[in-house]
Amino acid sequence: MLDTVTQTKRLSAGKVPGEFERWFERQGWAIRDYQRQMVGAFARREDTLLIAPTGGGKTLAGFLPSLIDLSQKQTGAGAKLHTLYISPLRALTNDIERNLNRPVAEMGLPITIGVRTGDTKSYQRTKQRKTPPNILLTTPESLMLLLSYPDAADYFADLQTVIVDELHSFATNKRGDFTSLALARLKTLAPGHIRFGLSATIADAQAAAKWLGPTDAPAKIIEVRGDASPKLSIMQTEARYPLGGHNPRFAVKDIYAAIKKAKSSIVFVNTRAQTELLFQQLWQINDDNLSIGLYHGSLSRERRQKTESLIAQGKLRAVVSTSALEMGIDWGDVDFILQVGAPKGVSRLLQRIGRSNHRMDEPSEAVLVPCNPLEAVECAVAMDAIDAGQRDGEDYTEGAMDVAVQYIVNRACAGKFKKRETLSEIRSAWPYRNLSKSDFDLLVGFAQDGGYALKAYDRFSRLKSTSRGYEISSPQQARRHRMNIGTIVEYAKLRVRRFPNMKSKRFRNIGEIEERFVMGIAPGDSFVFGGEVLRYHGIRDMALEASPMPKKTPPKVPAFAGGVMPLSTFLAGGVRRLISQPAGWSRLPAQIQDWLALQAQFSQLPKSEGVLAEGFFDRGVHVIVIHSFEGRKVNMALGLLMTRRMEMRGLKPLTYSITDYALTITSIEPVNQVADLMSEDILSDEYERWVSEAPMVKRSFRKIATIAGLTEQRLPGAKRTMKQVTFSTDLIYDVLLKYDPDHILLRIAREEAERDLLDIPRLRRWLSDVQGEITYKILPHASPLSIPSMMQLGKETLVGEAKMAILEGAAHEDMADMRLETVRDFVNENATKG
């Protein structure tokens, strides 16, 4: 039974014209119930959220009403935009274009389709603005850009439908806030259009429907459940699991064997660096010369598109990929998915599994390859959750204020606005339904001239206020804004130029690499990029120059930003439950069971209530590991506050590092009890003082300053590097704190640090829950459970005095050296005299 549709009451089917019925028949498809219901929703002008499994014709269901409507209309010259499709990924828009063009061509429909993303060439953009296609496929950023032009009102005037694809990926982040504001604007410009949302995995359909509809008018929901649940297993391996880290090397032979057995597979890893690493490892044992590719967002557009089309044509046996291939794209023949590393979330895992066997009635097949014991436990928990039909909860939050500032400026670029109207427009976006008038005034004040308490002696303002409303102060200002639209703050990147050899003058751009990585390598060093080993020549014109390295020296792997994927809270809780209950361990690989048994013998297992902390000496420093299983945000906040108290107690903390499961703190002095360090009053005593000084708030401020338009990533003409941005925003933060401590941006930065980097409310609840149930084991050595957490080498955060200690250490060694040199000088002088 496929079309199990819930909430069928008023969602009757719409009429599908004969030519469409016949086209479906020719494909050997039957039009599904919910596809007809979407046609009905279109006719009734109802905002609708469609939740259906991957491979069920969900995207077609979104477009079908538009195709039918357009086929019956007089299109051609003078026609305006009819349907706008918003996708989170550029790659997805190209894929959708291919898939839509087929029915349009085969039925001979007079419908034009266009793609508008950051990759679109400027002549195409110009053409699109003059003659809009009937259907435009775009990303949130490109949409916002279109909305910033004065002709936006005319451009979108005839809009009938907006389709938001992969809705779950927008719902709970700044990019989602940004998208919701763009949707609100569209509603003002074309009040008659409706919104369709599409998603395969949503835990809280009601909340998502509220997000999709305007405030107080949630979208209708059509939910379809597929029957075939995926076939999942953890990879069986003879190899020994590494105790920590995320390196799949131990299982690379098994991974290779699995690829060889399958027709075509996608190997998902969690970071860009891991794609390069695993690709190298696979290539080294590729004795059968299987065609294996790699794919991640830092590769050049040409390279990505080439890989995409190779997969689509079934010419690759396997592709090693990041989440960049995770969404929507229909890769015909992929029959096997490998997930290397922890899944990090149930929905994410389902999404990835959904890439194989794109037919709803057959089960997808996937094998999970955990790379350390805790990842193995996480895999088992995720598999159980999928069997039980459970999903991660999404965390719907209030709309971000820095995004609202960007929106206000965007609005001003398109023409004069009145504050009252814009406030109600912003509030019609569901995340911003609670925006207060006073906060809105502060945001407009900031957008205008910074809104500082101390008025500077200058004439500059970004918005001009006239009796008829606010508008942008100059065309340069509008240009500056347009170049900085978006919510993703990127690290400075360098293009990678590949020369065929060291002497050659010709090169190709093969992608982008982070500036940070380049600082750590010297000319002559080798590194992997795009699946090959390159020799680093040097940097010229903001580009890194390199050529293939003939010898196979152990290369460095570039670090890419955004490597850490947060673990869903839902999974974190599951991991703790499974570990605490040996009865459930049978699902785990034997090695992992042994590891847990060893933990029970040597120390103890964490219980389902309270918290286990362990203390021991390791390489001359004292280590505490707190197994909270509460996720990174709680561990980060706890780390900041605990190290602070440790400093006050004279315990000389040095560093702390976090994982999803545990907090690790090193100190010079041994810690004999932790109850005082973890008492609830660390939140009252230390919190206030910490908040204004915390590096986390500065980190938030950096992003906010960019999104709100205080500093920019790209200036017209000159490309500013992130290094400068980073530096100056820290300085700006210090100055603001000193001279205008109540400024709106500081408030936003604090709120955001608390929300995104440190979950204070959750820490508060957790601390209160564990009081009286804190078990502290003092051990002669690191326990099995502590080892994975301690393996976060080089990822520690230094605590206050540790930086002094580094400088002191360096200075002391040198004082000794310099003294000795002075002695030598004396001796030499005496020798020459003598």
Partner 1 sequence: MRTPPKAEKLALKTRAGEIILDSRKVAFLPECQTLLVADMHFEKGSYLREFGRSVLPAFDTQDTIERLRVIADDYRPKRIIALGDSFHDMRADERLSPQAAAQLNALSGDACEFIWVLGNHDPDIPSAVTGGREDHVQAGGFLLTHHPYECPDGVNICGHYHPKAKISSRLGSVSAPCFAVSEAGIILPSFGTFTGGLYVSDPAFTDAMPNIQSVVVAYKHRIFQIKAR
- Which residues form the interface with partner 1 (CB under 8 A)? 446-450, 452, 454, 456-462, 474, 476-477, 480, 654-655, 709-712, 715, 724, 727-728, 731-732, 735-736, 738-740, 743, 794, 796, 798, 802-811, 814-815, 817-818
Is 161:410 a contact under the CB 8 Å cutoff?
no
Nearer to partner 1, 680 or 814 (CB): 814
Question: Residue 393 CB, nearest distance to partner 1 (Å)?
Answer: 36
What's the min distance (Å) between Cβ of 739 and partner 1? 4
Cα torsion through 418, 419, 425, 430, rounded to 10 = 170
Nearer to partner 1 among residue 566 and residue 809 (C-beta): 809
Q: How far is the CB of 804 from partner 1 (least distance, A)?
A: 6
State the DSSP string of 587-609: GS-HHHHHHHHHHHHHS-PPPSS
Rounded least distance, CB 709 to partner 1, Å: 7
18 versus 794: smaller Cβ distance to partner 1: 794
491-518: burial string, b at 16+ Cβ within 10 Å, e else: bbbbbbbbbeeeeeeebeebbbbbbbbb
Q: Give the nearest distance from C-beta 778 to partner 1 in angstroms.
A: 24
- Which C-beta is closer to partner 1: that of 262 or that of 447? 447
Q: How far apart are CA 510 and CA 487, in angstroms?
A: 25
> By C-beta, is 200 or 478 nearer to partner 1?
478
Question: Angle at the Cα of 95 (from 93 to 96), degrees rounded to 5?
Answer: 65
| Residue 693 beta carbon to partner 1: minimum distance, rounded to whole angstroms | 12
At its nearest, how many Å lie between partner 1 and the CB of residue 448?
8
Instruction: Output 258 or 725, the one with its CB closest to partner 1.
Output: 725
Are 202 and 31 contacting, i.e. CB atoms less than 8 angstroms apart? Answer: no
* Shortest distance (Å) from residue 749 CB to partner 1: 14
CB of 668 to partner 1, least distance (A): 11
Residue placing its CB nearer to partner 1 in the complex, 181 or 710: 710
Amino acid residing at 545: E
Structure-block tokens of residue 70 = 């357009």
> Which residue has 């003002």 as its token pair?
188
Closer residue to partner 1, CB minimum distance, 525 or 532: 525
CB of 274 to partner 1, least distance (A): 23
Q: ∠ CA(452), CA(456), CA(462), 5° rounding? A: 70
- CB-nearer residue toward partner 1: 303 or 462: 462
Q: How far is the CB of 457 from partner 1 (least distance, A)?
A: 4
Distance of alpha carbon 787 from its chain centroid, rounded? 27
Q: Which two tokens stand for residue 79?
A: 């026609």
In the bound state with partner 1, the residue whose beta carbon lies nearer, of 769 and 814, is: 814
DSSP 99-153: HHHHHHHHTT----EEEESTTS-HHHHHHHHHS--SEEEE-HHHHHHHHTSTTHH
Q: What residue ranges in 203-284 does DSSP mark as E strands?
A: 220-225, 231-234, 265-268
Those residues with Cβ within 8 angstroms of residue 723's Cβ, 6 or more apart along the chain or in another chain: 492, 515
Do residues 194 and 48 lie in contact, with contact meaning Cβ atoms separated by under 8 Å?
yes
Q: Rounded to the nearest whole angstrom, what is the least distance from the CB of residue 187 to partner 1 in the complex?
A: 29
State the minimum distance, in angstroms, from the CB of residue 650 to partner 1: 18
Nearer to partner 1, 270 or 448 (CB): 448
CB of 378 to partner 1, least distance (A): 28
Name the H helices within 753-799. Answer: 760-770, 786-790
Q: Looking at beta carbons only, is 78 or 717 nearer to partner 1? A: 717
Of the two residues 209 and 746, which places its CB atom closer to partner 1 in the complex? Answer: 746
Give the residue from 696, 698, 687 showing the smallest Cα distance to 645. 687
> Least CB distance from residue 807 to partner 1, whole Å?
4
Phi then psi for residue 86, to 5 deg, are -115, 125
CA 251 from centroid of its chain's CA atoms: 27
Q: Using an 8 Å Cβ cutoff, are 330 and 95 in contact?
A: yes
The type of residue at 110 is P
Nearer to partner 1, 650 or 780 (CB): 650
- The Cα–Cα gap between 149 and 483 comes to 13
Sequence-ordered list of residues with C-beta below 8 angstroms from that of 816, at least 6 positions apart, any chain: none
Q: How far apart are CA 120 and CA 648, in angstroms?
A: 56
Residue whose tokens read 């609840």: 765
Furthest-apart CA atoms within the chain: distance in Å: 112
Radius of gyration of the chain, Cα coordinates, nearest whole angstrom: 29
**C-beta separation of 642 from 629 below 8 A:** no
How far is 195 from 14, CA to CA, in rounded Å?
17
Neighbouring CB atoms inside 10 A of 631's CB total 22
Place of tokens 């109600």: 424
CA dist 53 and 228 (Å) reads 10
Q: Where are the beta strands (DSSP E) in 341-450?
A: 365-369
Q: Which is nearer to partner 1, 520 or 761 (CB)?
A: 520
The single residue listed with the structure tokens 């300053």 is: 705
Return the number of the residue (393 or 445) whose C-beta is nearest partner 1: 445
Under a CB-based contact definition with an 8 Å cutoff, are residues 308 and 530 in contact? no
Give residues with Cβ within 8 angstroms of 811, minimum separation 6. none
Whether residue 674 contacts residue 643, with contact meaning beta carbons closer than 8 Å, is answered with no
- Choose between 388 and 522: whose C-beta lies nearer to partner 1: 522
CB of 441 to partner 1, least distance (A): 16
Lookup result for tokens 């590097």: 721
Q: Which two tokens stand for residue 802?
A: 């540790």
Q: How many residues are present in the chain?
A: 834
CB of 76 or CB of 794, closer to partner 1: 794
Min CB(736)–partner 1 separation in Å: 6
- Min dist. Cβ of residue 191 to partner 1 (A): 33
